Amino acid sequence: MSFKERISELVDSKSHEFICINDKIWEFAEIRFQEHESAKLQMEVLKKEGFEVKKGLSGIDTAFFGSFGEGYPVIGILGEFDALSELSQKADMAVREPIVEGGNGHGCGHHTLGASSLASAVALKDYMKENNLKGTIRYYGCPAEESGGGKTFMVRDGYFKDVDVALTWHPSSSNCVLESGFLANVKVLFDFKGISAHAAASPELGRSALDAVELMNIGVNFLREHMIDEARIHYAITDAGGNSPNVVQHKAQVFYTIRALKSPQVQELFMRVKDIAKGAALMTGTEVTTRVVGGYSDYLANDTLSRIMAIHAKEVVNEIDYTDDELAYAEKFKNTLGVELKSMEKIMNLDKEAMKKPIMKGLLPPPKKLLGSSDVGDVSWVVPMAQFMGNCYALGTPAHSWQMVAQGKSSITHKGMIAAAKIMALTAAEVFQNPAVIDKIKEDHLENLDGNEYICPIADDVIPNQI
Ligand SMILES: [Zn+2]
């Protein structure tokens, strides 16, 4: 039996258990930094499977890893498991119907991401044991991918220092190995401090922090005319200084995310936004303090590793078949989509014929652009990485939608997660047994860095979970 067949068998032999984990984490639906039940469940599995577990990484209760084996090479498999707020939705319902009004839901498929990565690490461990292979397999439980940047803190604090190769994936509505496409970003809080006063009786005594926030936002909106096309800047006013118009607001806060293709471009824009904040403070007689609370680096795909992953991905996804019931299920959800389909068509460069299908099959070429960000980027600067998107939903299902939540426990998702576990385990097993490939992967990594060093977007004194 080939190693491919054996790995596949090992994943299949425990698939039921990991499908249950997928469904349970879907039900926990815990948002960033609150993933206590989701982390506990995964740590229990790791312990039961003989992994040594270390938790509380970077001072985050829900950040952990499980290690099996020892020495070189060290292969890291990354998992996520955080949900999103306001996306509670009943499973399998093709109409918007929350389970809990205002509750959380797995609108980015991270429950599947975690369950599958864990399944992959366990299958690899079983394969290592069977074949007496030397080396280390490590599953990383990475919390708070959504806005919290759990991995960035874990990278900053050195938890990936000894890792030779890392792999991950993300649930999607198509299959492809990613070449690039995650934007670097920085997340910053601007706090303005003014002087409160009676807005009618003694306005001349007041200095409005809310005025400063408004002027800052106007300044940044003018900045948009003079920045690079690929940059994105968005903000939320997180403290408007109270609810009384007749009290001059002595405090106000605005939360910014600044994104661009490369980390140095983000830093350059950040300096300009900071200058605008200072200008707003000067104009209003207020004071401003700036706090970076998170940040992601751009993603560096490792060529050799991505190529190996693509070979396995193609073979595995080509074997997936969908039943008539599954096709009808996907069609039902596809019919709820509108402009989202246009966006999918554009991002994946699909033709009209392909867009008629309820579900996408086979491996597609990588998209040229994905205008999101992920803390996977930070890992990719310090460890050679490959990642892919794995089909788990009806064609065109957008991330962060109720439709994605609704489909999160379907048999289509389950098939996608098992396929993903196989693809990562096969890629890792091949690398594991071939030191020359690891050398080549490391050469590629140096080429990717092109003489640049990783600069963590968050300073040493930034603590997690401030948002
Ligand atoms: Zn996601």
pLDDT digits (tens, 9 = 90+) for 42-101: 999 999 999 999 999 999 999 999 999 999 999 999 999 999 999 999 999 999 999 999
Instruction: With beta carbons less than 8 A apart as the criterion, state whether 93 and 410 touch.
Output: no
Q: Is the pLDDT of residue 370 over 80?
A: no
d(CA 288, CA 67): 45
Ligand 1 geometric centre to CA of 279 (Å): 36
The structure tokens 């003018």 sit at 222
Of 428, 424, 442, the C-alpha closest to 170 is: 424
Ligand 1 geometric centre to CA of 429 (Å): 26
Q: Is the pLDDT of residue 252 over 70?
A: yes
Confidence of residue 388 (pLDDT cuts 50, 70, 90): very high
Which segments of 157-262 does DSSP mark as H helices, in order?
209-223
Residue-range domain boundaries for the chain: 3-182+299-449, 184-296
Q: What share of the chain is helix, strand, coil (3-state, %, to 5)?
A: 45, 20, 35
d(CA 335, CA 341): 10
Ligand 1 geometric centre to CA of 199 (Å): 45
pLDDT, one tens digit per residue, over 264-301 is 899 999 999 999 999 999 999 999 999 998 889 999 99
DSSP assignments along 301-343, one per residue: --HHHHHHHHHHHHHHHHT----HHHHHHHHHHHTT-SHHHHH
Residue 268 confidence (pLDDT): 94
- Which fold does the domain 3-182+299-449 belong to in CATH? Aminopeptidase (3.40.630)
Inter-axis angle of helices 15-28 and 411-432, nearest 10 = 120
CATH number of this structure's domain 184-296: 3.30.70.360
What's the whole-number mean pLDDT along residues 459-465? 84
d(CA 262, CA 269): 11
Tokens of 375: 């803390």
Domains 3-182+299-449 and 184-296 share a fold: no
Q: Cα torsion at 314, 320, 326, 332 (round to 10°)?
A: 0
Ligand 1 geometric centre to CA of 372 (Å): 9
Q: In this structure, which residues have their CB less than 5 angstroms from ion ligand 1?
A: 108
16-38 CB burial, b ≥16 within 10 A, e <16 = ebbbebbbebbbbbbbbbbbebb
